[in-house]
Amino acid sequence: MLNAWALIPDILSLARTQSARLDNIQAEISKIKTQSNHADCWLDAKAAAEYLGVSAGTFDKYRYKTTPRIEGCALDGKTLYKKSELDNFVMLYAAKSEGMA
């Protein structure tokens, strides 16, 4: 039991570090949104992959194989992605990678 109490400062420090990382991600996303004229427009898969800075294959992996997944809206046989949803995916994926989700 005493060993568990000794770990509390380390756990709190780790939580603060992860919280600061998420705050930085949110600040970057907010900055990108304010710089863009079309902050929350719809993108096709190619444009969405470019927006995220990943290849088409990596984008497909995020759409079909990862948890969380990138969700789109089907419209006349084409799937469109909202920028804000892509930003949310990045935050959720980062949180999961940091062990917070």
Q: Using one digit for the tens of pLDDT, what is the confidence trace for 20-52?
A: 988 888 888 777 766 655 567 899 999 999 999
Per-residue pLDDT at 51? 94
Cα 5 → chain centroid: 33
Task: Give the Cα separation of 93 and 76 in Å (integer).
Answer: 29
pLDDT tens digit string along 53-90? 999 999 999 999 988 889 999 998 899 999 999 999 99
Domain residue spans in the chain?
2-97
Phi, psi dihedral angles at 22 (to 5 degrees):
-65, -40
Among candidates 75, 79, 101, which has minimal Cα distance to 90? 101
What token pair was written down for 91?
């935050």
